[in-house]
Amino acid sequence: MTLERNGEGHLRRIRSFVRRPGRLTPAQQRALDTLLPRYELDLALADVRDAFERSAPLVMEIGFGNGEALVAMASAEPGFNFVGVEVHEPGVGRALRAIHAAELVNVRVAMRDAVELLARQVRPGSLEQVRIYFPDPWPKKRHHKRRIIQPEFVGALATAIGSGGLLHLATDWAPYAEWMLEVLDQCDAFSNLGHPYVERPEWRPQTRFERRGQGRGHEIFDLLFARR
Ligand SMILES: C[S@@+](CC[C@H](N)C(=O)[O-])C[C@H]1O[C@@H](n2cnc3c(N)ncnc32)[C@H](O)[C@@H]1O
């Protein structure tokens, strides 16, 4: 999403996440071993829409954490297919267990960098919605380049989302909410449906990071944009 030169002048990718070797519980490890093959988005597919048994409008949740919102949304909105994207293995393990327990047939999981997934397996205009809830705020100025919401990434989302589709963001970090508004404001492909924020749409369940922010007294911001 962002490229930076290292000391020797080589370009390196700046990622919005740090891979921490999180401790997997035995249950999460079992879920990765036995359930990931069943629910994982096949890397060989050229079009993410082909991963589902039936055709339906497709919603992508990026950075689903432990998957509680993904599972709640896929249960509550059976008319959509969902693809959840997350790099954190313990979270994916938890999500897989919940997806399986709920017997959901409309969810696929990609344990990969969303930037790469968008570039490789998402055809232009093929997503109905993208939902990104409480992305890492990277509060220090020198880390702002790690924020997932960047002009280049928003450009990739604009390509992926079909006309009339939606981009829904939420954060508990006020400076990041302003940053999101600025970046989206610079992208002609999206129009803001809020003034500038919206009330929490009923389709967004509470998430772990939302509760954490609220526990710290943070205000919650929902941002909703339509693809022109
Ligand atoms: C602060 S957490 C929020 C998790 C969840 N949405 C919630 O509200 O509880 C942000 C998550 O985004 C994931 N993430 C960050 N960049 C990502 C990327 N490029 N592709 C996939 N996941 C990413 C991180 O691993 C992390 O779990």
Tokens of 198: 């919206």
Q: Which of 15, 18, 61, 64 should be mutated for ligand 1, with most atoms under 8 A from CB?
A: 64
Residues forming beta bridges with residue 222, ordered by sequence position: 170, 198
pLDDT, tens only, 152-183? 999 999 999 999 999 999 999 999 999 999 99
Residue type, position 78, single letter: P
Residue nearest to atom 23 of ligand 1 (CA): 63
Cα of 67 from ligand 1 centre, angstroms: 10
Task: Check residue 1 and give its pLDDT.
Answer: 64
Q: Euclidean distance between the first and final Cα of the chain, in Å?
A: 23
Residues of the chain with pLDDT under 50: none
- Residue 95 CA to residue 98 CA, distance in Å, equals 5
> Against a cut of 0.85, is the pTM above it?
yes
Say if residues 91 and 85 touch (Cβ distance below 8 Å).
Answer: no
CA distance 200 to 221: 8
Inter-CA distances, 46 with 29, 42, 120, 213, 218, Å: 28, 9, 7, 38, 41
Ligand 1 neighbours, Cβ below 6 Å, are 16-17, 62-65, 85-88, 91, 113-115, 133-136, 148, 207-210
Phi, psi of 223 (to 5 degrees): -125, 130
Told to judge if 113 belongs to the known catalytic residues of this protein, a careful annotator would answer: no
Relative orientation angle of helices 89-101 and 68-76, to the nearest 10 degrees: 30
What pLDDT score does 177 carry? 98
Predicted local distance difference test score (pLDDT) of residue 22:
73
Which fold is adopted by the domain 26-227? Rossmann fold (3.40.50)
The distance from CA 211 to its chain's CA centroid, rounded to whole angstroms, is 18
Q: Report the nearest atom of ligand 1 relative to the CA of 212.
A: 9
Distance 10 CA to ligand 1 centre (A): 27
Q: Per the structure block, which two tokens stand in for 52?
A: 């589902």
Contacts of 27 (CB under 8 A, 6+ apart): 93, 97
Q: Which of 136, 171, 176 to mutate to test the pocket of ligand 1 (most atoms within 8 A of CB)?
A: 136
Q: Distance, CA 222 to ligand 1 centroid (Å)? A: 16
Q: Atom 27 of ligand 1 has which residue's CA nearest to it? A: 65
Where are the domains positioned within the chain?
26-227
Q: How far is the CA of 59 from the centre of ligand 1 (A)?
A: 16
Catalytic residue among 33, 42, 136, 185: 136
Q: Find the 47 Cα to ligand 1 centroid distance in Å.
A: 23
